[in-house]
């Protein structure tokens, strides 16, 4: 298509010039023949250049230059012969041949420059598309990796609790915990690792998780939910809140004989969803060391998942109140649920 358009434009330009100098068949026919010859020669050049591009760089450049010189010589000779034949002038004069070589080289060199320029542009566009595709794949893989970290992290603690119940011969409680664990794992498997779920689904999953933990801590674990009905269909990454509640259980409920309250609040503020997970435990301080069995996933995992999902359009803060207690605050954009990406 570009060949046809380009040579049609060349024919029009040269034809207008010939007509401006006085309309005659002797002036128009050589222009038509010249355009047809140029079209045929450049079709051959495009095939040869495409072959040379697959060769080593130096060999490709040398063959390209040699082909351009040969094509210029052939084009100039045929052009000069056509001009002499139409003018009924026997032989090809040196002046005519030199003029034809100049015109032919200018035309073919300009065409070659356009050929390589257009192909370079197409290659760059293709590489940009590939880079964007690879970047998207890398982001999805990173998000999936962060999500998959949560399953062994949670299983480690839950299976340890079930093992304890079995050793204490509390089989009914161990069986009930296993049943709830299977329901929780079914939920995690039903969702793709990079999918977003609604706030309502995330809270249901969180309550299921707390039912498992409630069997361990009984009255020491006192959960509270304060969910704005307007955000129930808002989207967020799946299993975003479970590690936060797990940390609250580990650092607020476990070390205190009286346990602690864990409050999960979700509010709508304009076009933002504000999430808060707080506890009434002793809080965190720099002198306090992490338990030896900690996998170190929790807060870092959530922070990285938020960056992967929302980029800079999110906020993640932690704070300890002077009176004790620890809270995590998350601020993300308000996005309505997409049915095609919801969990089964």
pLDDT digits (tens, 9 = 90+) for 265-280: 999 999 999 999 999 9
All structural domains of the chain with their residue ranges: 2-130, 170-341
Residue among 179, 232, 222, 244 nearest 202 (CA): 232
- Beta carbons of 324 and 281 less than 8 angstroms apart: yes
Report the pLDDT value the prediction gives residue 153, as an integer from 0 to 100: 57
Report the pLDDT value the prediction gives residue 331, as an integer from 0 to 100: 96
Among the residues of 168-280, which ranges form H helices? 171-190, 199-217, 242-248
Report the pLDDT value the prediction gives residue 68, as an integer from 0 to 100: 93
Burial pattern 73-85, b for ≥16 Cβ within 10 A else e, equals eebbebbbbbbbe
Q: Using CA atoms, how far apart are residues 137 and 133, in angstroms rounded to an integer?
A: 6
Mean pLDDT for all residues in the chain: 81
Report the pLDDT value the prediction gives residue 289, as an integer from 0 to 100: 44
Q: In the chain, which stretches have pLDDT less than 70?
A: 21-27, 86-91, 136-137, 139-154, 157, 187-194, 284-298, 337-344
Could you give the 3-state DSSP secondary structure of residue 332? Answer: strand
Find tokens 């380009």 and name the residue.
6
Report the pLDDT value the prediction gives residue 3, as an integer from 0 to 100: 87
Q: Using CA atoms, how far apart are residues 262 and 128, in angstroms rounded to an integer?
A: 48
Q: Using CA atoms, how far apart are residues 288 and 286, in angstroms rounded to an integer?
A: 5
Name the CATH architecture for the domain at 170-341: 2-Layer Sandwich (3.30)
Report the pLDDT value the prediction gives residue 137, as an integer from 0 to 100: 67
- 204-235 pLDDT, tens digit each: 888 988 888 887 788 899 999 999 999 999 99
Could you give the 3-state DSSP secondary structure of residue 272? Answer: strand
Q: Using CA atoms, how far apart are residues 118 and 147, in angstroms rounded to an integer?
A: 43
Report the pLDDT value the prediction gives residue 53, as an integer from 0 to 100: 87
Give Cα 76 to chain centroid, integer Å.
Answer: 52
Q: Using CA atoms, how far apart are residues 87 and 78, in angstroms rounded to an integer?
A: 14
Report the pLDDT value the prediction gives residue 13, as an integer from 0 to 100: 84
């Amino acid at each position: 298509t570009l060949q046809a358009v380009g040579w049609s434009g060349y024919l029009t330009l040269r034809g207008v010039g010939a007509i401006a100098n006085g309309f005659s068949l002797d002036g128009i026919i050589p222009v038509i023949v010249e355009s047809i010859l140029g079209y045929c020669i450049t079709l051959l050049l495009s095939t040869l250049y495409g072959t040379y591009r697959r060769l080593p760089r130096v060999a490709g450049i040398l063959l390209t230059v040699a082909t351009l010189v040969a094509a210029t010589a052939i084009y100039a000779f045929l052009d000069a012969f056509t001009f002499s034949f139409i003018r009924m002038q026997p032989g090809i004069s040196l002046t005519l041949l030199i003029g034809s070589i100049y015109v032919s080289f200018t035309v073919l060199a300009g065409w070659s420059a356009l050929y390589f320029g257009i192909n370079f542009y197409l290659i760059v566009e293709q590489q940009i598309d590939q880079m964007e595709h690879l970047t998207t794949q890398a982001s999805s893989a990173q998000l999936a990796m962060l999500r998959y970290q949560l399953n062994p992290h949670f299983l480690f603690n839950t299976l340890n609790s079930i093992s304890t119940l079995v050793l204490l011969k509390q089989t009914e409680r161990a069986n009930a915990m296993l049943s709830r664990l299977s329901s929780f794992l079914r939920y995690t498997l039903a969702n793709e690792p990079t999918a977003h779920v609604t706030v309502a689904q995330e809270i249901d999953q969180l309550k299921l998780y707390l039912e498992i933990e409630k069997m361990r801590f009984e009255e020491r674990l006192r959960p509270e939910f304060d969910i704005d009905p307007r955000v129930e269909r808002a989207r967020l990454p799946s299993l975003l809140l479970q590690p936060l509640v797990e940390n609250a259980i580990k650092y607020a409920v476990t070390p205190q004989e009286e346990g602690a309250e864990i409050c999960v609040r979700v509010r709508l503020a304009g076009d933002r969803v504000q999430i808060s997970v707080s506890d009434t435990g002793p809080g965190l301080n720099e002198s306090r060391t992490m338990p030896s069995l900690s996998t170190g996933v929790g807060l870092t995992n959530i922070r990285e998942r938020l960056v992967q999902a929302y980029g800079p359009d999110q906020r993640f803060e932690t704070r300890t109140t002077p009176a004790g207690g620890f809270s995590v605050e998350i601020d993300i954009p308000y996005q309505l649920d997409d049915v095609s990406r919801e969990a089964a």
